[in-house]
Amino acid sequence: MKYIRTNSLKRLFSLKRRSFEGGANQHGVFEEDSNNDSFKIASVAELSQRPSWRSFSFEEIFVATNAFSSENLVGKGGYAEVYKGVLKDGEEIAVKRLTKACTDERKEKDFLTEIGTIGHVCHPNVLSLLGCCIDNGLYLIFEFSSRGSVASLLHDFVDADANLPPMDWKTRYKIAIGTARGLYYLHKVCKRRIIHRDIKSSNILLTADFEPQISDFGLAKWLPSQWTHHSIAPIEGTFGHLAPEYFMHGTVDEKTDVFAFGVFLLEMISGRKPVDASHQSLHCW
């Protein structure tokens, strides 16, 4: 258990053995303490109202991804790689592997943040967490979105490709509405408000029927009901999508995501990238 060092991960491993193997509790969700950014195991009563996720063995995901073959690599960022996998029952999954590019402490923090945020959400326009693996590294397992990201369809492929239907206006409208519904759910319907902080076309994934799903909650923050905003440093996110009050003052609330969603809409309508070759932001265009 190379990366199991913090108390939170030790408790997660304990929960894995006690709950997933024993069957007493099928949820195991971490919650963030708004006072000190630490995590705690949610109570059984709270967990009973939440969607379940399970523990995967390393062997399962190793076989599913064909030993993390480069041919199965579908996405790569600064701190993670995403692989397509197929389970024994034929279910397609996406395996997010936290990479060695960051410290073990950063891995653990990102891992717990994403589980603590997305582990209890349930909405058709938010990517569903299927489970996790903490053997031989840290892994998050999600449903596989067969059409990839909106960014890929807008910028990386041509409409003439026979295997990819063009992004017509009806499809773009559907994607915009679905993404808005997902954001509304995170901001207004969740028991605890979630601010995503990195809404962009590459984080909006698409199902086979072009239903959008908000993904990548590595930067997400809880916003307690009694708080009007978070004050955050350092500033993290994607240039071209950062709201002015966040970029200049570190102020984070629902408007942070709404601003980024507006940039996303401009990108959908214009087909232009959020930042062009001259480094001009799309919202300034």
Residue set of the binding site for ATP: 96
- Listed residue (205, 206, 232) closest to 219, CA to CA: 232
CA distances from 209 to 59, 90, 169, 181 (A): 31, 19, 15, 17
Annotated binding site: 96
Please name the residues in contact with 176: beta carbons below 8 A apart, sequence gap of 6 or more. 264, 265, 268
Written as one letter, the residue type at 105 is: E
- Listed residue (235, 215, 88) closest to 143, CA to CA: 215
Q: Is 216 a catalytic residue?
A: no
Question: Within a 13 Å sphere around the CA of 124, how many CA atoms are in the beta-carbon half?
Answer: 8
Cβ distance 93 to 85 under 8 Å?
A: yes
Which one is catalytic: 198, 216, 253, 257?
Answer: 198
Sheet holding 139-143, edge to edge: 54-55, 129-133, 139-143, 92-98, 80-86, 73-76
- Per DSSP, 283 falls in state G
Cβ distance 214 to 150 under 8 Å?
A: no
Cβ distance 92 to 146 under 8 Å?
A: yes
Q: How far apart are CA 201 and CA 267, in angstroms?
A: 8
Strands (E), the chain: 30-32, 39-41, 54-55, 73-76, 80-86, 92-98, 129-133, 139-143, 193-195, 204-206, 212-214, 221-223, 230-231, 251-252
3-state secondary structure of 80: strand
- Residues tagged active-site: 198
